[in-house]
Amino acid sequence: QNEITFGYTDGKNYLSCTDASSCVNAVQLLFDNTALRQRMMQENYLYYQQYLQPELVMKNIIDAMLGNV
């Protein structure tokens, strides 16, 4: 299972949904609120740069396997 366990925050990187109605509301909020949408896009870009680039992921896997964590 793939999980993001650090630095990924509701309201900063994503809008959580508990059912279809709350998901529709979250999407509508992003359509209506340009500033929120742009801020979340920027936060997710930074998150990718810090944690999810393939080179970083592979380095973290290798470090974990070698006990360098």
Three-state secondary structure call for residue 41: helix
Residue of 10, 45, 47 lying closest to 29 (CA atoms): 10
Looking at the predicted structure, is the pLDDT value of residue 7 above 90? no
pLDDT score of 2: 57
pLDDT digits (tens, 9 = 90+) for 18-39: 999 999 999 999 999 999 999 9
Paired with 14 in beta bridges are 10
pTM for the full predicted model: 0.72
The partner residues of 10 in beta bridges, in order of sequence, read 14
